[in-house]
């Protein structure tokens, strides 16, 4: 069984150390170069130890993504609570966060996960969708409270936002040559908010 022979504290510490080394490799070379040989070499352990802890590379990738998303969500929720209660402030923050999340996992690496490691890819997409659902819920609440016109259709606004986010993510490298990422974040947020004001 994976992890057999380790004390719980030792197993947890070793897993965290392996995650840290995985993040170093991904940050330096990209997720495509997260190879078990390189991971073992950098960590100073055998590949057998890694397989004893995780069972397979696929399980390692899933655990790594779960650890990443758990920390991301905790940080996001804490930061969201610090935003003002106003609809615009919260929507700006969530949109900006979605764009920064795309920076952490560039389009090419997300495509690599989609083709080679589908479970971590699905976990990432589920998390992104949950953020869009949060926007949708906030829009529904705002409309029910009279902050948005009855003509406003949250589903259409969200579809447009999702398409714009996907375009920005896919072409981030080219767009960054024109303007800093913060410019596109502000542009996308204001474009979305304008669509709300116009009752799109």
Residue by residue, DSSP assigns 83-136 as S-SSHHHHHHHHHHHHHHHHHHS-HHHHHHHHHH-HHHHHHHHHHHHHHHHHHH
What pLDDT is recorded for position 2? 43
Into which CATH architecture does domain 1-55 fall? Orthogonal Bundle (1.10)
Contacts 24+ apart (CB under 8 A), 106-112: 106/169, 106/172, 107/169, 107/170, 107/172, 108/30, 109/26, 109/30, 109/31, 109/32, 110/169, 112/30, 112/31, 112/32
What pLDDT is recorded for position 97? 94
Domain 57-197: state its class: mainly alpha
Which pair of structure tokens corresponds to residue 70? 């758990």
CATH 1.10.10 location in the chain: 1-55
Q: pLDDT tens, position by position, for the chain (200 residues)?
A: 444 444 444 455 689 999 999 999 999 999 999 999 999 999 999 999 999 999 999 999 999 999 999 999 999 999 999 988 888 889 999 999 999 998 888 889 999 999 999 999 999 999 999 999 999 999 888 888 888 777 777 788 888 889 999 998 998 888 878 888 788 888 888 888 887 776 54
CATH 1.10.357.10 location in the chain: 57-197
Residue of 47, 60, 147, 133 lying closest to 98 (CA atoms):
133
């Amino acid at each position: 069984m994976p992890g057999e022979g380790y004390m719980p504290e030792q197993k947890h510490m070793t897993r965290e150390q392996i995650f840290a080394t995985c993040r170093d490799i991904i940050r330096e070379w990209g997720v495509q170069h997260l190879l078990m040989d390189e991971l073992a070499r950098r960590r100073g352990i055998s590949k057998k130890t890694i397989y004893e802890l995780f069972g397979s590379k696929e399980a390692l990738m899933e655990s790594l993504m779960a650890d990443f998303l758990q920390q991301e969500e905790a940080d996001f929720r804490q930061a969201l609570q610090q935003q003002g209660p106003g609809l615009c402030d919260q929507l700006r923050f969530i949109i900006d966060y979605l764009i920064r999340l795309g920076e952490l996992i560039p389009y090419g690496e997300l495509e690599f996960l989609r083709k080679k490691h589908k479970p971590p890819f699905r976990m990432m997409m589920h998390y992104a969708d949950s953020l869009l659902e949060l926007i949708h819920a906030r829009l529904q609440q705002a409309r029910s409270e009279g902050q948005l016109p009855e003509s406003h259709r949250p589903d259409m606004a969200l579809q447009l936002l999702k398409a714009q986010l996907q375009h920005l993510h896919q072409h981030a490298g080219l767009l960054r040559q024109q303007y800093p990422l913060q410019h596109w974040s502000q542009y996308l947020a204001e474009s979305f908010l304008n669509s709300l004001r116009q009752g799109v």
